[in-house]
């Protein structure tokens, strides 16, 4: 396997990826080319000839496409693996290989991934590594703004992150962050009130109608009970949803975090109710 052979495979991958970006039917062929190429890259690296600039550029191109394709497929775990391969290219090989045009996109996606997992320490560590011009890019500013909203407790703003994303590749991670924010708002609602009108609850959670609210309640009840049998269950009774704690809550005062969320939304809830 020569560098020329790898370059041909990367060229094929680029064409397949371009097709997959606009045609879902082309995703599977693109993934097949990528899987084959990954094996060839590993073989080349094991041969001990992987230190040349040409190979590094080709490998980075393949890994970047792999990272973006993973998110297109909604496979965040695969994206994480590809980022691990890409990290040295962005921070260790900067004097060897010219910067990729996708650098700020991939780094922004990585930072958003860290936010969705609430890995704030890792988020700031990565942010500190970024050069000033990368920090100023729309991809990075978008994620930094989301982190600021999260820290300020502006959870409703996080639900709309898909609409303001700088690229469709952010959508799967943005949806995950929105789900987390919606769950935190829901937790605040059940602490602040014993019940709410269905329309008010749907509006607070930024759901389009009562049907979406019913679907959310089903998902929310299942996920909460799986994590904590003492969690409140949401029950629709007439035109209201009631928050019922089947088991006694420990203590009479909500946690500081939950109370903070509750207080932050009481005024808004009052306007709706």
Closest CA to 173 of 108, 224, 120, 225: 108
Q: Which structural domains are found in the chain, ordered by start?
A: 1-98 (no CATH), 100-192 (1.25.40.990), 198-272 (no CATH)
Q: What is the pTM of this model?
A: 0.80
- Looking at the chain, the whole-number percentage of residues with pLDDT higher than 90 is 57
Q: For 85-94, how does the pLDDT look when each residue is reduced to its tens digit (9 = 90+)?
A: 999 999 999 8
3-state SS of the chain? CCHHHHHHHHHHHHHHHHHHCCCHHHHHHHHHHHHHHHHHHHHHHHCCCCCCHHHHHHHHHHHHHHHHHHHHCCCHHHHHHHHHHHHHHHHCCCCCCCCCCCHHHHHHHHHHHHHHCCCHHHHHHHHHHCCHHHHCCHHHHHHHHHHHHHHCCCHHHHHCHHHHCCCHHHHHHHHHHHHHHHHHHHHHHHHHCCEEEHHHHHHHCCCCCHHHHHHHHHHHHHHHHHHCCCCEEEEEECCEEEEEECCCCCCCCCCHHHHHHHHHHHHHHHHHC
Interval 122-173: pLDDT, tens: 999 999 999 999 999 999 999 999 999 888 888 888 888 888 899 999 998 9
Distance in angstroms (rounded) separating the CA atoms of residues 113 and 172 = 10
Residues 171-181 have pLDDT tens digits of: 989 988 988 88
């Amino acid at each position: 396997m020569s560098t020329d052979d790898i370059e041909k495979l990367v060229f094929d991958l680029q064409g397949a990826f371009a097709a997959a970006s606009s045609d879902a039917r082309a995703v599977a062929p693109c993934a097949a080319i990528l899987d084959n190429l990954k094996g060839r890259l590993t073989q080349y690296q094991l041969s001990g000839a992987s230190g040349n600039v040409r190979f590094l550029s080709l490998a980075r191109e393949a890994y970047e496409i792999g990272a973006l394709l993973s998110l297109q497929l909604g496979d965040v775990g695969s994206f994480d693996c590809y980022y691990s391969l890409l990290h040295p290219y962005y921070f260790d090989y900067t004097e060897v290989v010219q910067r990729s045009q996708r650098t700020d996109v991939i780094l922004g996606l990585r930072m958003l991934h860290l936010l969705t997992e609430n890995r704030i320490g890792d988020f700031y560590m990565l942010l500190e590594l970024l050069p000033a011009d990368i920090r100023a890019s729309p991809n990075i500013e978008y994620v930094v703004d989301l982190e600021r909203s999260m820290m300020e407790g502006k959870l409703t703003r996080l639900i709309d992150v898909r609409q303001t994303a700088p690229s469709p590749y952010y959508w799967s991670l943005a949806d995950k962050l929105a789900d987390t924010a919606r769950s935190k708002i829901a937790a605040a609602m059940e602490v602040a009130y014993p019940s709410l009108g269905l329309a008010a609850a749907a509006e607070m959670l930024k759901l389009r109608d009562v049907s979406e609210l019913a679907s959310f309640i089903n998902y929310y009840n299942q996920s909460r009970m799986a994590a904590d049998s003492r969690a409140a269950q949401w029950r629709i009774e007439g035109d209201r949803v009631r928050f019922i704690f089947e088991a006694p809550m420990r203590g009479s005062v909500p946690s500081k975090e939950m109370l903070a969320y509750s207080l932050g939304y009481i005024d808004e809830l009052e306007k709706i109710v």
